[in-house]
Amino acid sequence: MRRFLQGLILLLLPGLPALAANVVTTTGMIADVARNIAGECVEVEALMGPGVDPHLYEARASDIGRLRNADAIFYNGYSLEGQLGSVLSKLGERKMTLAVAPQSMVDDQLLMANEDDSYGVDPHLWMDPGRWVRIVPTLRSALQEVAPACSDAIKRRSKAYKADLEALDQWISDSIITIPDERRVLVTAHDAFGYYGDAYRLEVLGIQGISTDSEPAIADIRNVVDTVAERGIPSIFVESTISRRTVESVVQGAARQGHDLKIGAELYSDAMGESGTEAGTYIGMLRSNTEAVTRGLGGTVAPWPERLSDHWQGRDAGNHEKQGEQ
């Protein structure tokens, strides 16, 4: 009906521009990639904002309305959305509902299994832009289907954004490699950084497992305390979507063993930063994380790539497309 009414308006008032298609995503990480690819051709909105934990998210009545009215729904998959999964499954019977990670990561070697948790596959693929870049062609095709009149522009923007993520990947690698070997251990509130560690040769130690739907056991906290104290790890990191309580417990436990463990800058794991800030973009989120990890573990942050110098301030579609063609 919505499409019929749009078409009727255009017939009656041919001078009006076509209304943008509407796409709803679950997480901001998916929404930001989709916006960069779609430009003004598609209105993209995310259900889950800053500080929202997708593992625990429960759909509100207003969310159901937004999902039903959307032309397409994009979600992560691999059980990241937890309780929202059943809602997405039902909606998928009536409209395009795309699990972007499973559709993009067809090579099993890209995936990290998790045998000790309820998740068969670690869903936090966005932590490695070298993997996450694979959702670009998946979203490009879906957005071209949603907004066929913008197909060429979507193709150009996807090419440019793919190059942006490749530049980001190289910058992260150049920064993390400067961390001394004995300090290359990333200790976080929960196990969301496995792909990040795998990509950039960091040992990752999460107090909780992949999911956050239960409190960590005392034994888990004790094991982390023993590890950081024994190995002299300088910093532990809090996350924007998780209480600081367990991290502070590790700091206190390390102090009792005579080790001064610092709490590093806040990391973004399951959600991006506030809208209107650099960390409120996917690229900015990983920039913030990498700067925090590199400095917290004794490394030196690499110079920011020229290609990404204006990623947050925004570039007009023409400039972005021009850079993508170079």
Of the options 1.10.3430.10, 1.20.140.10, 2.60.120.260, 3.40.50.1980, the CATH number for the domain spanning 2-172: 3.40.50.1980
φ, ψ (nearest 5 deg) of residue 269: -115, -70
Q: Exposed, middle or buried by CB within 10 Å (0-12, 13-18, 19+), for 6?
A: middle
**Does this chain's domain 2-172 share its CATH topology with 179-301?**
yes
Task: Name the DSSP letter for residue 112.
Answer: -
Residue 191: what pLDDT?
Answer: 80
Look at strands 72-75 and 21-25 and give their pairing. parallel
Q: According to the model, what pLDDT value does residue 219 have?
A: 84
Q: Digits of tens for pLDDT over the chain (326 positions)?
A: 454 444 444 334 444 345 579 999 999 999 999 999 999 999 999 999 998 888 888 888 889 899 999 999 999 999 899 888 888 888 887 889 999 999 999 888 899 986 655 668 899 999 999 999 999 999 999 999 999 999 999 999 999 999 999 999 999 999 999 999 999 999 988 788 999 999 999 999 888 765 555 567 788 889 889 999 999 999 999 887 667 888 899 999 999 999 999 998 899 998 999 999 999 999 999 999 999 999 999 999 999 999 999 888 654 333 344 334 33
Phi and psi angles of residue 74, each rounded to the nearest 5 degrees, phi first: -115, 130
What is the residue-wise DSSP string for 282-301?
HHHHHHHHHHHHHHHTT--P
**Reported pTM:** 0.86
Q: What is the pLDDT of residue 5?
A: 45
- Strand 203-208 with 72-75, pairing: unpaired
From the number of C-beta atoms within 10 Å of its C-beta (0-12, 13-18, 19+), residue 206 rates as buried
Which CATH number applies to 179-301: 3.30.342.10, 3.40.50.1980, 3.40.50.360, 3.40.50.1100? 3.40.50.1980
Domain ranges of the chain: 2-172, 179-301
